[in-house]
Chain A
Amino acid sequence: DIVMTQSPDSLAVSLGERATINCKSSQSVLSSSNNKDYLGWYQQKPGQPPKLLIYWASTRESGVPDRFSGSGSGTDFTLTISNLQAEDAAVYFCQHYFGTPRTFGQGTKVEI
């Protein structure tokens, strides 16, 4: 099974500053057939279901503010939240979908 490890487990960022969350997979999630990284990022606020932010490692989901960006390839990925807003306080999860089980990282809590 592919193990997804996020760092840090939590971070506190001031309003308007940048938050950086890392996600590392135990093996590559880059497909040689289509050159896509099978990696998504989700945001979850208390009492709510997760919300898709980023897919294919760097493609922003429709309606997601452009202050959210994803980068990386292979085994190392980053979610960056620029110009942090109060509504960005949440837990963020990475997940691979390169085969099954499609495991999630343990989550990173972002506090303001």
Chain B
Amino acid sequence: EVQLLESGGGLVQPGGSLRLSCAASGFTFSNYAMTWVRQAPGKGLQWVSAISGRTTDTYYADSVRGRLTISRDNSKNTLYLQMNNLRAEDSAIYYCAKNQDGGPVAMDVWGQGTTVSVSS
């Protein structure tokens, strides 16, 4: 069974850092691009960042570029999101999602999400 399990969320002060992880299982992780999507409380979905499968090309929303960094360790089947200089507006549920293949395609498997709260 294809599964994604996020971890690493929590409460952090403005300006602080967190590292989110997404453990993947049930598929050949390195063959697929991966994506982070977030959802603020009561709001819609916001695409945050994506990373290709083997070439590790990375892509970011303007609102997070320079503060959030996506990466992956294909040997550990794990996706990461390093979050620095966090702001209140970064508070959200962060979902990791598997793309349908290695490129720009829809996201066919989603994790349950991990919650990030940025507050003093």
B62 near A101 with CB under 8 A, answer yes
Known A49-B110, A61-B108; judge A102-B45 contact (CB<8 A).
no
Known A49-B95, A50-B95; judge A104-B106 contact (CB<8 A).
no
A50 near B45 with CB under 8 A, answer yes
B47 near A103 with CB under 8 A, answer yes
Contact of A55 among B95, B106, B111 (CB under 8 A): B106
- B27 at the binding interface (Cβ < 8 Å): no
Q: Which residues of A contact B60 (CB under 8 A)?
A: 100-101
Q: Which residues of A contact B62 (CB under 8 A)?
A: 1, 101
Q: How far is A44 from B113 in the complex, measured between Cα atoms in Å?
A: 13
B45 near A104 with CB under 8 A, answer yes
B44 near A102 with CB under 8 A, answer no
Total of A-B residue pairs, C-beta within 8 Å: 61
Q: How far is A99 from B47 in the complex, measured between Cα atoms in Å?
A: 12
Contact of B110 among A51, A100, A107 (CB under 8 A): A51
The chain B residue sitting closest to A51, CB to CB, is: B110
Q: How far is A84 from B35 in the complex, measured between Cα atoms in Å?
A: 31
Q: Which residues of A contact B110 (CB under 8 A)?
A: 49-51
A95 near B47 with CB under 8 A, answer yes
Q: How far is A12 from B111 in the complex, measured between Cα atoms in Å?
A: 29
The 8 A CB mask of B105-120 against A (1 = contact, 0 = none) is 1111011110000000
A101 near B47 with CB under 8 A, answer yes
On A, residues with C-beta under 8 Å from B are 1, 38, 40, 42, 44, 49-52, 55-56, 61, 91, 93, 95, 97-107
On B, residues with C-beta under 8 Å from A are 35, 37, 44-47, 50, 59-62, 95, 100, 104-108, 110-113
